[in-house]
């Protein structure tokens, strides 16, 4: 997996990730990011930001741009990784 870029456009966060030979564009609003957040995401966000998980979560909910971009990257990478491994598993069966 290789992260390429991210940016905010009209309250929509866009993250482009290349994995394998595929180029995937993840486009999410803040509400979609909140809905896709799973257990452990705020812990990882805290580690990425160098702060504890509750502080990272509060920064995200308060609209911190770095927290929003980082959480989008966490979600996008997780989804890409899951798809990549599921595809490999399905090709073995």
Tell me: pLDDT of 7 over 70. Answer: no
Of the candidates 3, 21, 10, the residue with the CA atom closest to the CA atom of residue 76: 3
| Angle, alpha carbons 16-49-40 (nearest 5°) | 80
- pLDDT (tens digit per residue) in 15-73: 666 655 666 677 777 888 889 999 999 999 999 999 999 999 999 999 898 998 899 88
Question: In b/e form, how buried is each residue of 40-64, taking b as 16+ CB within 10 angstroms?
Answer: ebbebbbeebeeebeebbebbeeee
Tell me: pLDDT of 1 over 80. Answer: no
What is the arithmetic mean of pLDDT over 66-83?
88
């Amino acid at each position: 997996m290789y992260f390429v870029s991210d940016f905010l456009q009209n309250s929509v966060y866009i993250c482009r990730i290349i994995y394998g030979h595929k180029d995937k564009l993840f486009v999410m609003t803040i509400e979609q990011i909140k809905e896709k957040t799973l257990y452990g995401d705020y812990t990882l966000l805290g580690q990425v930001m160098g702060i504890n998980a509750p502080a990272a979560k509060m920064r995200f909910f308060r609209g911190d741009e770095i927290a929003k971009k980082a959480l989008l990257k966490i979600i996008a990478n997780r989804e890409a990784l899951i798809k990549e491994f599921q595809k490999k598993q399905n090709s073995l069966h």
